[in-house]
Chain A
Amino acid sequence: MEFIYYFGEVFTPISMLLLIGGTIGGLILGATPGLSPTMAVALLIPFTFHLSAVHGLILLGAAYTSTVAGGAVSAILLKIPGAPANIATTLDGHAMALKGEGAKALQLSFISSLFGGVFGVFLLIFLTPVLAEWALAFGPSHLFWLAILGVTVIGSLESNSVVKGLLSGCIGMWLATIGFDDMLGVKRFVFHSSLGGGVNIIPALIGLFAIPQVITMFANGRFDQDFERIEVQKHPIGDAFREVFKRMRALSIGTITGSIIGLIPGVGGQIAGLVSYDQAKKFSPEKAKFGTGHSEGVIAAEAANNAMVGPSLVPLLTLSIPGSPTAAVLLGGLLIHGIFPGVDLFENHPEVAWPFINSMLIGQILMCIFGIYIASFAARVAQVPKSVMAATVLGLALFGSYAVQQSMGDVYVMAVLGTMMFFLERFGFSAAPLVLGLILGPIAESNFVQGSMIANAQNGPMSYFFSGTLNIVLIAVVVVSIGYSAWSELSARKVAQ
């Protein structure tokens, strides 16, 4: 309970000012497509040069928590996920916004982010040593199976057809093979210099989600002069809290899945939201409502992506290994002040480590308060005329994909993928499984290659990939996941007949 003594440091005027500034700034940066949490934290690092270690880290901690939650704003209102963490939020969140329930969706997302986030930070505070062992337990073979588990989710994400979902996933996985391969040192599918580094996930995300919408809006705009005005329903905040508590199952599935997956170095943050969404859907008696603007979908996804924040820092704080790109940036923020993370961090630098963690707790609460305040007027976005909206989204998409690495190449990639997605959507394919393929492809591939190399030096691939408790558990979960999808598909067909 040592951390309680250090709350004093967080409640000094300067710290509070930084916390509030970091939270509001983080929400805005997070809501801007293209500015992922990693980018936002990296942008703030130079400011921390001039702050003391404690103040710098308080600012970074607050910004990290609120950017992850802020990504929900553009996911819900514009159907553009600010970062991979928010992909699952678009599925039901945007559907809610289209029904005029944008305010409700935002409130639900910030409240469930608060619960998930606080749970995750408490795990970080109380269970760090245990969790560190868990994080290390995942070797190449386990990460490979975990990616395969993610692939099984792909089929069920697509609501109308499993086959089309899997096909979209395959396209995503193929896109992921483009570029220089660092494991084998070969060039693959590089036809233009801007593809040398492969397809960057953020521009792809923006293109696949935003561009089809923009094209549709422009196409309909002329005939849409007096489009039906979406009634923006006011939603009392008390009702939102009651709703979240009523959906306890989705909230706890999101929180627990998010914290567990968040812990795994190199994988966590990107798929926590999607896997939790899928789990919540499988356990829900109202499966058919998912994807049509069901509150459980938003709650599970947003609880998960904030629950991942705390555990994702475990490998960094205990082993000095950044488990995610954002953690790598935070490591820079620690090193600049001469603080070396490691098991004895909390003994050597308690005056820095604890306020940093506390700031993430207080940051969650501030994030929820300011987020709900933003929600009260941000939901009006639904009333903006389509023509204005199309231009705004296009502007944001161009800005966001250029900003990732100041590269016009990324803008082309965004535009090409987006246009391709517009046509694919006409044939019933959707963007979420495609992006999941893009994320999981490299994880599955690199861990398979690496695992095979290690296996060949040892007893061969069979024993490396198929023995050991963790491997067998993961394979079993994969089998159950596939079996369950097949069974529910078949029984749904029977009902239809």
Chain B
Amino acid sequence: MKKLLSALAISLMGFTGTTALADYPERPVMMMVSYGAGGATDFQARIVTMTAGNEDALGMPIAIINKPGAGGRVGWNWFATEADKDGYTLAAYNIPHFIAQSIKGGVDYSADSFEPIANWGADPAVFVVGKDSEFNSMADVVDFAKANPGKLTFSGAGLFVGHHIAALQIEKAAGVKMAYIPTKGGGSAAMKAVIAGDVLGGVNNLSDAYRAVQAGSIKILGVADLERNAFLPDVPTMKEQGLDVDNASVNFRGVMVPKGTPQEVIDQLAATVPEMFAHKKVAGKMKQGGSPMHIMTRDEVKAMWAARQTTLEELLKGL
């Protein structure tokens, strides 16, 4: 009887032992967004995680917490150094921001500090000018910049973010010197500067620029991506206009966990999260909000991170 009981106990222990992981997640999961509430990343993170509680997704809700500051550095520093590595703490990543920041230095993280899970969105940078601007194509912009070196002012949301990368790439591709004006207060402050005529042009998010075009206040001259965007089928890419600019500045957003998270948890998340993003309710809300979706699996994201690392290292070398 004793033997039987102990055998039973051992088998039960084994049972609970395996189910502990199989049951992941058994409580709500937290996701850190390193930008403020109401920003594009926060807004999209809330939409793409809204179905997490469904049985076919995680079965547990995902709660968003914001740790904004210093262009995302505060949140990612916290995530790399202090976050629990148990799979209950996820974070949103923004590429190229965090990789560019880590190359520039002064932060506690690099691409090796995190494990990607899946990508949900891709918001390319676009070049915008005011609605009454004399510029009607990237060629006009480049011609002006060639005739007036360093005099073409154009805004973007801070340094070492997608906008800044696109600005550097455009300058490099056209072989011109322009005056990049970083603004405090994100993409909307940079957009305001363009609409108000404080600057001659600007680099901004496709999603925000799309809304501003609908509002009739700007013109979009080019998309810094490999292909034209479904939201703006009439706007040519930089490449089509003779500027050798790839998709290194596209703002990819997705989910990651800190390095050291159990492999089983990573595998489980990598399997379920992309499907969660693909939920039609999520896709519908994202489309309504003018936010371009781009779902990528863990392996695809890994490759993308590695490619960005190389491109950005080269681009930022001279700075």
Contacts and interface: CB of A to CB of B under 8 A. Distances in A.
Contacts of B152: 457
A137 B198 CA distance: 9
Contacts of B184: 182-183, 442, 446, 450
A196 B108 CA distance: 11
Given A182-B184, A185-B160, A198-B70, A340 B198 contact: no
Interface in B169-210: 179, 181-185, 188-189, 191-193, 195-199, 208
Interface string A325-343: 1101111100111101111
Give the interface size class of chain A. 35 or more
Nearest to B164: A185
Interface in B85-128: 104, 106, 108
Given A332-B38, A342-B216, A450 B285 contact: no
Contact of B290 (A136, A321, A335, A450): A335
Contacts of B268: none
Given A45-B46, A193-B77, A328-B188, A320 B106 contact: no
B215 A182 contact: no
Given A193-B81, A342-B214, A180 B179 contact: no
B215 A341 contact: yes
A30 interface: no
Interface string A474-489: 0000000000000000
Interface in A305-363: 315, 318-322, 325-326, 328-332, 335-338, 340-344
Contacts of B43: 332, 335-336
B199 A454 contact: yes
A320 B159 contact: no
A185 B67 contact: no
B46 A46 contact: yes
A147 to B, nearest CB: 13
Contact of A185 (B46, B47, B159, B198): B159
Nearest to B194: A321
Contacts of A138: 196
A266 B189 CA distance: 8
Interface in B40-94: 42-43, 46-47, 50, 65-71, 73-74, 77-78, 81
A148 interface: no
A183 B182 contact: yes
A182 B69 CA distance: 10
Interface string A190-214: 0001001110100000000000000
Contacts of A319: 192, 195, 212, 215, 217
Contacts of B199: 454
Contacts of A454: 153, 179, 181, 198-199
Contact of A197 (B70, B108, B183): B70
B126 to A, nearest CB: 15
A193 B74 CA distance: 8
A198 B69 CA distance: 7
Nearest to B200: A457
A406 interface: yes
Given A198-B69, A406-B65, A182 B182 contact: yes
B165 to A, nearest CB: 13
B193 to A, nearest CB: 8
A321 B183 CA distance: 14
Nearest to B36: A325
A322 B188 contact: yes
A342 B216 CA distance: 8
B38 A197 contact: no
Contact of A336 (B81, B158, B189, B289): B289
Contacts of A457: 150-153, 179
Contacts of B47: 336
A282 interface: no
Nearest to A404: B66
A42 B289 CA distance: 17
A131 interface: no
A322 B215 CA distance: 13
B277 to A, nearest CB: 16
Given A335-B43, A335-B290, A340-B211, A321 B191 contact: yes
Interface in A32-54: 38-39, 42, 45-46, 49
Question: When A and B form their complex, which 9 residue pairs have the shortest distance between CB atoms, in order from nearest?
Answer: A197-B69, A342-B215, A338-B288, A180-B70, A329-B38, A42-B37, A328-B38, A197-B74, A335-B289
7 contacts: A139-B197, A184-B159, A196-B74, A197-B68, A320-B217, A331-B38, A450-B181
Given A320-B214, A321-B212, A457-B153, 14 more contacts: A38-B37, A39-B37, A184-B159, A197-B69, A198-B70, A319-B215, A325-B36, A336-B289, A340-B290, A343-B216, A407-B78, A450-B183, A454-B179, A456-B179
Interface of A: 38-39, 42, 45-46, 49, 136-140, 179-180, 182-185, 187, 193, 196-198, 200, 265-266, 315, 318-322, 325-326, 328-332, 335-338, 340-344, 405-407, 442, 446, 450, 453-454, 456-458
